[in-house]
Structure 1
């Protein structure tokens, strides 16, 4: 799947489950503003498994530095769609985020928030086309503004961040299971799980059906989770 598809699917899953899953897991429901920022963060987190690809969205985040990192991850993990496309990786990203926000505090929380928002901006094409300085500065600027907003208004974001990161990574894996080659969910067991609905990445079925449908569904979910409650309070 394209990076855009992964990001939209992450946003959709978070927005659709925010009124239900957090209540079941944590005993409380996130406020409308938390749902909105969580949706963007989950969109960014849904790109994390592609850290093993030298030309995926994460590789373009910091130019040569991020491309080098992605090449290193691919080498260590056995190539694209291996270790980082497993349930082990999804669990580790969630646990690692929890450990970071617990032991390193606000600096880690805001740094992770910035990276996830920057990934979401790039994957959702909220910046000028291309990978030049203008696109990069726009991505950094929007991510910086979003991070500043989180720091000022969402002091409890650390409690939700591990859940959001893990959910985004898991959504990516399930999305890749809908394509050829599937995903080795039980890595290091090599079997790949697939239910092929998307036969070609970037094909018409993905770009003209799945992406528009998921986009509309995301806005519908946000309406019920964010805007309807706000209107009811006013």
Structure 2
């Protein structure tokens, strides 16, 4: 799947789970602003597994610098769709972010929020068109504004941020199971799991049907979860 598709799917799954899982995981329901922010952060987290892809969405974020970083991660993880596309990576991302939030509290929360917003804005193409430098500056600016807003008005972000990381990364890994070559879910066990619904990344089914349907579904579910949660929970 394309980076844009992964981002939208991460937001969709977070929005769908928002009325149900947070009370079980963090002991309280999410506030409307947290539902909206969480969907965007999960969209950003849904790109994390592709840090192993030298030509993926994140590799183009900061030109040669991000491509070099992605190449290094690919070497360390065994290549594209290896270690970072597994349940082990999902578990480590969630546990690691939780431990870091507990250790460094608001500083880490703000840093990770900014990073995931940066990824999400880039993937969802919310930045302006034009020169690359202008687009990157706008992407960074929007991520900074979102982080400052979360810091000011959503002080409880750290309590559920690791949950958003797990939702996003897990959605990415399962989404790639729908494509050819699949993913090694049980890495380091090498068997790849796949149910091929998307025969070629970026085909018409993905770009003209799947992404628009997921986008519309995300908007509806975010609104219901944020402003009419009883409609979903009964």
TM interval, short-chain normalised: over 0.9
Whether contact under 8 Å (1:60, 1:131) holds in the other structure is no
Question: Separation in 2 of the partners of 1:106 and 1:91?
Answer: 22
Instruction: Give me the TM-score of the superposition, normalised by structure 2.
Output: 0.95
Q: How many residues align?
A: 229
Summarize the Cα distance change of 1:103–1:131 in structure 2 as closer, same or farther, 3 Å threshold: farther
Q: Could you say what secondary structure the match of 1:192 adopts?
A: coil
Q: Deviations over 1:179-205 (max 9, x none)?
A: 001110000000001000000100001
Whether contact under 8 Å (1:7, 1:124) holds in the other structure is yes
Instruction: Give me the TM-score of the superposition, normalised by structure 1.
Output: 0.95
Summarize the Cα distance change of 1:183–1:131 in structure 2 as closer, same or farther, 3 Å threshold: farther
Q: Deviations over 1:24-43 (max 9, x none)?
A: 22221111110000000000
Question: Separation in 1 of the partners of 2:105 and 2:59?
Answer: 26
Whether contact under 8 Å (2:26, 2:159) holds in the other structure is no
Partner of residue 17, structure 1? 17
Which ranges of structure 2 fall in alignment gaps of 5 or more residues?
A: 230-234
Which ranges of structure 1 fall in alignment gaps of 5 or more residues?
A: 230-234
Question: Separation in 2 of the partners of 1:101 and 1:194?
Answer: 34
Q: Could you say what secondary structure the match of 1:185 adopts?
A: coil
Partner of residue 116, structure 1? 116
Whether contact under 8 Å (1:49, 1:84) holds in the other structure is yes
Question: Separation in 1 of the partners of 2:8 and 2:143?
Answer: 17
Does residue 1:184 correspond to 2:190, yes or no? Answer: no
Q: Deviations over 1:141-170 (max 9, x none)?
A: 100000000110111101111111011000
Summarize the Cα distance change of 1:59–1:115 in structure 2 as closer, same or farther, 3 Å threshold: same
Partner of residue 49, structure 2? 49
Partner of residue 40, structure 1? 40
Summarize the Cα distance change of 1:107–1:86 in structure 2 as closer, same or farther, 3 Å threshold: same
101-110 or 135-144: bigger deviation: 101-110
